[in-house]
Amino acid sequence: METRLALIGIIVGNREGTSKLNELLHAYGKYIIGRMGVPYKGKEINVISIIIDAPQDVINALSGKLGMIDNVSTKTIYPPLPQ
């Protein structure tokens, strides 16, 4: 099955949703290439970047599930497709 590379940016507004978020990331772990989290204590938020290489439907499912967690915002970006 063809896979795509994507970057999922996640902003967590408070720590209440982090256990659900971590459970999801663990469940999709076989597709995740890298993860970087940066706590921004001055604003009491956490910023997480996920690099994923997966089929399009898997990326959409993960991004959608992450976006349904309270106080979590996500945005998925993709590199340009070859012409």
pLDDT given for residue 18 in this prediction: 81
DSSP 29-54: GGGEEEEEEEEETTTTEEEEEEEEEE
Tokens at residue 17, please?
Answer: 């949703």
Select from 69, 67, 65 the least CA-distant residue to 57: 65
Residues 83 and 26: their CA atoms lie apart, in Å, by: 34
User: Which region, left, alpha or beta, applies to residue 71 given φ > 0 means left and ψ of -120 to 50 means alpha?
Assistant: left
pTM: 0.89
pLDDT given for residue 17 in this prediction: 66
Tens place of pLDDT per residue across the chain (83 aa): 899 999 999 999 877 768 889 999 999 999 999 999 999 988 889 999 999 999 999 999 999 999 999 999 999 999 987 76
pLDDT given for residue 83 in this prediction: 67
Q: Which domains does the chain have, with CATH numbers?
A: 4-72 (3.30.70.1150)
